[in-house]
Amino acid sequence: MPSERPPGDRMIVEPAPAKLNLALHVRRRRDDGYHELETLFAFVADGDVVTVAPAERDSFAITGPFAGGLVSDAGNLVLRARDRFVRDVAPLPPLAITLDKRLPVASGIGGGSADAAAMLRAAARIADVAPSDPRVEAVAADLGSDVPACLLGRTAFGSGRGEALRVVNGLAGRPVLLVNPNVAVATAPVFARWDGIDRGPLPVRDAWRVALDGRNDLAVPAKSIAPVIGEVIDALDRLEGTVLVRMSGSGATCFAIFGDHASLHAGAEAIRGAYPAWWCLETALT
């Protein structure tokens, strides 16, 4: 039986799962313009997909239900990740890159950051470099505050801008429903409307207790920009079997964690029936 060809000679399919902030505490605005955060990152089983294949020349295509909301030029985070990897880590051969965009754009679930992280993981495989290589991690941190967490892809407490990570366990398998009212919310305006009040750190407890007892300090400013977020939260709160309902990141995606999969499915059907224009995804924490 012939041996498998090395990673640089074959197609790589790299998942880019959605990121959730189960809790997000904003502590202060830093001198560098960023905000000091304490957050609990988690990931779900579904998201975008980045496919990379050897080619005669570089190319980039975007497919999927949310392809129309993205640019396919050098401003896209996937291409920026590729170019920064080549500049700072290792050379790459010509690649045909396809982004299957399944997550809403500017929705608080790390879509662009997850896509960039998936590209970095694929590039690392091709170049035979570990994703945990400090050079790769440095590129991730420069690309965006959520990219290091998405590169890691595991439940973790995040601090600093979100790039200082501590892995935790105990949340995998919990059923979760993601709902977005098909409204894009840019991150910078939400942070700009934060009232500047430090409401305290994340509690020092196990991950699930932190999720339950935490909060999202960006929910109020996000609702001031997109009031429909409040409607989503209220709709999720009315569902049977939920154990946690919250907005993720800077919005507008909200999530409900359920006690069991039957309640998840019933809740999703209720949302689809009452709000057919909203995007919703039945999935689970990983």
Catalytic residue numbers read 19, 146
110: left (phi over 0), alpha (psi -120 to 50) or beta: left
| Element housing 265 (H / E) | helix 261-274
Residue 176: phi and psi, rounded to 5, are -145, 140
**How is residue 230 written in tokens?**
């409040």
Quick one: CA dihedral 100, 105, 245, 114, positive or negative? Answer: positive
**Contact between residue 245 and residue 237 where contact means Cβ atoms under 8 Å apart:** yes
Asked if the bond preceding 67 is cis, omega within 30° of 0, the reply is: no
**How is residue 35 written in tokens?**
């905000």
Q: Give the start-end residues of each E strand in 74-130.
A: 95-100
Q: Which residues pair with 255 in a beta bridge?
A: 178, 246
